[in-house]
């Protein structure tokens, strides 16, 4: 996720508008765009003289000298780890009425206790309960379910007997979803319905810390701070039935669909989650590169941009495939969000219509920044996990630095521009290892984790040198695929490729 804006009710151009109204709306949109671009990529408006709870990394060069040749080291021989053992299987049957915005769901969770301790109870997280009256559960049962109790988005399931290590159990649920009218990744607008984090799931269980599950964090401006949800790598078998006018409706999903006429089935393995974006207003465009389909879904206003974003996406996927390892799936979808922020999901990213609408084909635009950012999450989130609540820098700093790597490769003439608008102007402060409970909410969070994260990574690069930097990151990527990586794993990867002392860099940027 990149930026959430409070400009929720700004006007949108409608294709029905004509003449002066369009001009007027364009003028409004231009002003809105300036505000949007400020929100998305430039200054966070932090007063220079204001209180700064954490130090600035003052000795960081404001404008680094770009490596002119930008050559990358030869790939090292690394192998992806085997798939996770005993993954949880989510079987979901979703019957969805697009025009009434409600869904009936039956779900089966097949869960193996992968920990070394017996579990008396299991924890289910039910994210739709973040929205009032959105989740209506009809039944919860299972071969060992004795009872359950609900607290916010948590459902604690008491088992009839403890689930021993490597023992397996089934949980069956049936529920109805009433999608909220909400501009975001869970909810509907008049031209889109988004289902992300729409089903109950079992979070990772850590031997030391227990269930890695946290309520979401909402700041003083009602902006959600970071990602509170941590998922295991799991397998999904999902059926979707569209009940109303399926012939009008297009479905973007985390995996390719089988089926037709409003009845689709999907399988996705080693995945963090399964999401849908559904609309009767999508225009699609796709290309196939190295066996991967890169597909865009946009509204009528963005048909041209929908074609262009696929090219940006293809270049980004190729670059990251080369830097980390080839994308492991056959499809990635880039979907216009009918809202003013951007979000990665597994196999699918959403980029705000505001960013699409103002793309003019030039590299100094938000679409050229955000497409590589979100697609880099197909690695640093989708394949290489981390605890997004406690150590968000492990995906967000790397995703933001991936923007830099994209410009370095494809638009070196704009690399200084990128650094100026993205890093120098916001003049970020804060500790890279901040978590989502950071004081001050979203802006300090973004500055510390994303932007200071870029400066941190760039200093690491300058310290260890080009070859070691890319070797270490590639090693980190391979080694931590299908795992929840930690800072220790990051440091270990660098220790394998460089003798440089990184302590001064960590000391400057990290709190702990």
Is 5 exposed, middle or buried, given 0-12, 13-18 or 19+ CB atoms closer than 10 A?
A: buried
Nearer to Zn ion, 346 or 396 (CB): 396
Is 101 exposed, middle or buried, given 0-12, 13-18 or 19+ CB atoms closer than 10 A?
A: middle
**Sign of torsion over alpha carbons 311, 346, 126, 95:** positive
Shortest spacing between CB 396 and Zn ion, in angstroms:
5
| Stretch in the footprint of Zn ion (CB under 5 A) among 25-33, 104-112, 243-251, 388-396 | 388-396
Contact 234, 213 (CB under 8 A): no
Nearer to Zn ion, 188 or 419 (CB): 419
| Stretch in the footprint of Zn ion (CB under 5 A) among 97-105, 165-173, 395-403, 415-423 | 395-403
Shortest spacing between CB 141 and Zn ion, in angstroms:
38
What's the helix, strand, coil split of the chain in %, to 5? Answer: 30, 30, 40
Nearer to Zn ion, 179 or 312 (CB): 312
Longest dimension (CA), the chain: 71
* Count of residues of this chain found to bind Zn ion when the rule CB under 5 A is applied: 2
Shortest spacing between CB 382 and Zn ion, in angstroms:
12
Nearest residue by C-beta to Zn ion?
Answer: 399
Rounded CA-CA distance 122/111 in Å is: 10
Shortest spacing between CB 351 and Zn ion, in angstroms:
11
Rounded CA-CA distance 179/190 in Å is: 12
Q: At what angle do helices 393-410 and 452-464 cross, to 10 degrees?
A: 70
Nearer to Zn ion, 251 or 448 (CB): 448
| Stretch in the footprint of Zn ion (CB under 5 A) among 42-50, 59-67, 398-406, 429-437 | 398-406
Counting every residue written for the chain, the total comes to 512
Q: Could you give the string, one character per residue 346-385, with x where binding to Zn ion holds by CB under 5 A and - elsewhere? A: ----------------------------------------
| Stretch in the footprint of Zn ion (CB under 5 A) among 35-43, 354-362, 385-393, 397-405 | 397-405
Nearer to Zn ion, 157 or 454 (CB): 454
Contact 185, 194 (CB under 8 A): yes
User: Which positions ≥6 away from 51 have C-beta within 8 Å?
Assistant: none
Residue 271's alpha-carbon distances to 322, 374, 385, in angstroms, are 21, 16, 10
The DSSP code sequence of 341-410 is S-EEETTEEEEEHHHHHT--S-SSSHHHHHHHHHHHTTTTTTTSEE-TTT-THHHHHHHHHHHHHHHHHH
Helices marked H in 2-53: 19-41
Q: Which of 109, 242, 367, 399 binds Zn ion (CB under 5 A)?
A: 399
| Stretch in the footprint of Zn ion (CB under 5 A) among 49-57, 247-255, 348-356, 390-398 | 390-398
Shortest spacing between CB 286 and Zn ion, in angstroms:
23
Rounded CA-CA distance 128/153 in Å is: 8
Q: Could you give the string, one character per residue 278-297, with x where binding to Zn ion holds by CB under 5 A and - elsewhere? A: --------------------
Nearer to Zn ion, 159 or 399 (CB): 399
Shortest spacing between CB 287 and Zn ion, in angstroms:
24
Binding of residue 449 to Zn ion (CB under 5 A) = no
Q: Could you give the string, one character per residue 18-57, with x where binding to Zn ion holds by CB under 5 A and - elsewhere? A: ----------------------------------------
Shortest spacing between CB 425 and Zn ion, in angstroms:
19
Rounded CA-CA distance 355/342 in Å is: 9
Nearer to Zn ion, 140 or 230 (CB): 230
| Stretch in the footprint of Zn ion (CB under 5 A) among 111-119, 209-217, 302-310, 396-404 | 396-404
Shortest spacing between CB 37 and Zn ion, in angstroms:
17
Identify residues 246-275 at the interface with Zn ion (CB under 5 A).
none
Nearer to Zn ion, 262 or 428 (CB): 428
Nearer to Zn ion, 242 or 405 (CB): 405
Contact 510, 433 (CB under 8 A): yes
Contact 197, 207 (CB under 8 A): no
Nearer to Zn ion, 84 or 428 (CB): 428
Provide the CA 498 distance to its chain's centre, in angstroms: 30
Shortest spacing between CB 197 and Zn ion, in angstroms:
16
Contact 387, 209 (CB under 8 A): no
Residue 14's alpha-carbon distances to 8, 22, 25, 212, 466, in angstroms, are 16, 8, 9, 44, 48
| Stretch in the footprint of Zn ion (CB under 5 A) among 133-141, 177-185, 333-341, 391-399 | 391-399
| Stretch in the footprint of Zn ion (CB under 5 A) among 23-31, 303-311, 393-401, 454-462 | 393-401
| Stretch in the footprint of Zn ion (CB under 5 A) among 35-43, 57-65, 389-397, 484-492 | 389-397
Contact 187, 341 (CB under 8 A): no
> Which residues lie across from 93 on neighbouring strands?
106, 239
The residue ranges that bind Zn ion (CB under 5 A) are 396, 399
């Amino acid at each position: 996720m990149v930026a959430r804006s409070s400009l929720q009710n700004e006007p949108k151009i409608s294709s029905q508008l004509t003449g002066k109204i369009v001009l007027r709306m364009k003028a409004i949109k231009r002003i809105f765009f300036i505000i949007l671009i400020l929100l998305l990529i430039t200054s966070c408006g932090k007063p220079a003289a204001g209180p700064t709870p954490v130090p600035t990394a003052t000795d960081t060069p404001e404008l680094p000298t770009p490596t002119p040749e930008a050559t990358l080291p030869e790939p090292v021989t690394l192998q992806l780890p085997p798939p996770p053992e005993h993954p949880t299987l989510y079987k979901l049957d979703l019957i969805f009425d697009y025009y009434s915005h409600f869904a009936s769901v039956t779900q089966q969770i097949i869960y193996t206790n992968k920990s070394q301790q017996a579990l008396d109870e299991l924890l289910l997280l039910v994210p739709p309960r973040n929205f009032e009256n959105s989740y209506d559960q009809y039944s919860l049962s299972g071969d060992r379910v004795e009872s359950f109790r609900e607290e916010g988005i948590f459902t604690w399931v008491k088992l009839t007997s403890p689930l021993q290590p490597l023992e397996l159990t089934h949980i069956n649920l049936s529920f109805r979803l009433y999608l909220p009218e909400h501009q975001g990744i869970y909810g509907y607008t008049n031209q889109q319905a988004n289902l992300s984090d729409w089903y109950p799931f079992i979070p990772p269980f850590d031997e030391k810390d227990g269930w890695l599950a946290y309520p979401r964090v909402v700041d003083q401006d009602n902006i959600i701070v970071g990602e509170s949800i941590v998922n295991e790598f799991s397998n999904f078998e999902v059926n979707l039935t569209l009940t109303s006018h399926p012939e009008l409706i297009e479905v973007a999903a985390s995996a390719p669909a089988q089926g037709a006429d409003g009845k689709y089935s999907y399988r996705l393995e080693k995945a963090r989650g399964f999401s849908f974006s559904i609309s009767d207003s999508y225009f699609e465009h796709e290309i196939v590169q190295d066996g991967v389909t890169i597909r865009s879904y946009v509204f009528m206003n963005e048909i041209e941009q929908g074609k262009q974003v696929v090219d940006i996406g293809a270049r980004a996927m190729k670059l990251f495939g080369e830097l980390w390892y080839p994308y492991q799936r056959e499809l990635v979808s880039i979907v216009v969000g009918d809202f003013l922020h951007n979000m990665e999901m597994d196999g699918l990213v959403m980029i705000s219509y505001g960013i699409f609408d103002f793309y003019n084909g030039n590299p100094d635009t938000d679409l050229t920044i955000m497409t590589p950012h979100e697609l880099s999450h197909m690695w640093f989130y989708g394949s290489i996990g981390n605890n997004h609540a406690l150590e968000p820098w492990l995906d967000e700093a790397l995703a933001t630095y991936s923007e830099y790597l994209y410009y370095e490769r494809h638009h070196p003439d704009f690399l200084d521009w990128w650094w100026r608008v993205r890093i120098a102007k916001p003049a970020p402060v804060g500790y890279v290892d901040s978590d989502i409970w950071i004081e001050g909410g979203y802006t300090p969070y973004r500055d510390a984790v994303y932007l200071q994260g870029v400066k941190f990574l760039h200093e690491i690069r300058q310290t260890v040198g080009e070859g070691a930097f890319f070797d270490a990151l590639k090693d980190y990527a391979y080694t931590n695929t299908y795992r929840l990586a930690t800072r220790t794993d990051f440091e270990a990867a660098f220790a394998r490729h460089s003798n440089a002392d990184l302590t001064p860099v960590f000391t400057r940027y990290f709190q702990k």
